[in-house]
Amino acid sequence: MSPLHICLLFSSALFCIGLVGALARSNTILVLLGIELMLNAANINFIAFWRYGPNHADGTGIIFVLFSIAVAAAEAAVGLALVIAIYRHRQTIRLQEANTLKG
């Protein structure tokens, strides 16, 4: 098994863990955590394809991931702020109970 395969298997495993976490948890913070894991799985794929791909010399993969990490950090800040706002209004952060926007 080549290193690329190992990386991809690892990132798939990470993605699945994140997906299960996001789907099965009812605590909003843990759902956010799961999403964050999936995002990082994608980041690992970027790095893996960059590192073992044909254009190793240019920094595309790493630049992409740096951007992605920066965006993820901003997203986490917004997400957690939303969770705090929801908690202040309803004294709960169970995702099922945050359904005001239903049609």
Partner 1 sequence: MIISAQHLWLIPALPLLAAGIGALTPRGGRSLSAGAAIAAMVAAFILSCLALRTALIDPAAHQTFNFAWFDLGHGAVRLGFLLDPLTAFMCVMVTFVGALIFIFSTGYMKDDANFKQFFCFLSLFAAAMLGLLVANSLLLLFICWELVGLASYLLIGFWFHKPSAAAAAKKAFITTRIGDLGFLFGILWLYDARGTLLFFDGGHGVLEAASLSAMAGTTLSCGLALSTAIGLLIFCGAVGKSGQFPLHVWLPDAMEGPTPVSALIHAATMVAAGVFLIARVYPLMSADQVLASVPVHALTVVAFIGGITALMGACIAVAQNDIKRVLAFSTVSQLGYMMLALGVGSWVAAIFHLLTHAFFKALLFLGAGSVIHAAHHEQDMRSLGGLRGPMKTTFATFAIGMMALAGVPFLFSGFWSKEAILHAALEWDVSILPLIMGLAAVVLTAFYMTRLVAEVFFGKARSHAAEHAHESPATMTIPLVILAACAIALGFLGTPAFPWLQAKLLGEAEVHGHSLLVGAGLMGLSIVLVALGLGAGWAIYGRKLRQSATAKDPLETASPPLFAALAARLGFDELYAATVGRANLAFGALSAGFDRYVLGGTISFLTRFAHFTGVVSLENDESGLNAGFNATSEKLRGAGQSYSKAQTGDAHGYLRVLALAFVVLVLLVVLGGGR
Residues near partner 1 (CB under 8 A) are 19, 22-23, 26, 31, 57, 59, 62, 95-96, 98-103
Cβ proximity to partner 1: between 16 and 71 the closer is: 16
CB of 77 to partner 1, least distance (A): 15
> Contact at 8 Å (CB) between 76 and 32?
yes
Total Cβ atoms within 10 A of residue 85? 10
Tokens of 18: 């994140």
Q: Quick one: angle between helices 28-52 and 60-90, nearest 10? A: 180
- CA angle (40 as vertex; 60, 56 as ends), nearest 5: 25
CB of 47 to partner 1, least distance (A): 9
Cβ proximity to partner 1: between 2 and 100 the closer is: 100
Cβ proximity to partner 1: between 1 and 23 the closer is: 23
CB of 2 to partner 1, least distance (A): 19
